[in-house]
Structure 1
């Protein structure tokens, strides 16, 4: 991930409850893993999600896209690389790539697009502090 914008790497292990009879992860888990990575990315940048909401901004999901590329089994270590960019006047895009931490094999990739809203749910332009965060270099 060499493009500008906020970047972060998160690592997690596939839990037994996330696998199916075929021995690989349930496809719906990818969106949950994206959420973990998004939350950890913000936390690592010094802005836990709760603090962002306290400051008056929320990021409701408005679109997602996934590409399934490989398997992940119980107890596999996964690496999620996340890149964040502002995507329009009132939205932010999180791009994720999930790979096997031990060998780099692709597991899944995709994005989530989030509106930036005030506490009432109305779209807002990102406050200066949020724009600065999303424009920062790799974390």
Structure 2
């Protein structure tokens, strides 16, 4: 499960280096892309009455990324139990393979009223997709 991103000028700071906050955005881009490819984008989930807020986001910056570079964001599901989801990310430079950043996000699943939702019980088709994504590792 991977996604490629080309660094845009607006993502850099005065030093010409990607601002640290953008890595968290790239995690979301990768997550959204992978979910869409699995047939379960956020629009589909929300139409089904499922929301998935971020509970935690964490990043460790390993090396600098600059304007115009391409990075590959690999993600894998670390943990999933039907109610909570934990995803690990690895950002590497496409040209050199150099590790730029690692990170994790944690999510839960809620219904439209903001109450915890078990995908396993209430949305088995979605649950199956997450299980298949875990097995793909």
Aligned with 1:57 (options 19, 35, 50)? 50
How far is the alpha carbon of 1:88 from its aligned partner?
4.0
Equivalent in the alignment of 2:117? 124
Equivalent in the alignment of 1:135? 131
Unaligned 5+ residue runs, structure 1? 1-7
Compute the TM-score of the two structures, normalised by the length of structure 1.
0.89
Which structure: greater helix fraction?
2
Unaligned 5+ residue runs, structure 2? none
Compared CA separation, residues 85 and 54, structure 1 to 2 (3 A) = farther
Equivalent in the alignment of 1:74? 67
State the 4+ residue runs in structure 1 displaced beyond 3 angstroms: 85-89
**Which structure has the higher relative contact order (CA within 8 Å, separation 6+)?**
1
How far, CA to CA, are the matches of 1:88 and 1:46 in structure 2? 20
> How many residues were matched structurally?
132
Q: What value does the CA root-mean-square deviation take over the aligned residues?
A: 1.5
Equivalent in the alignment of 1:99? 92
Answer whether contact 1:89 1:125 (CA < 8 A) is retained: yes
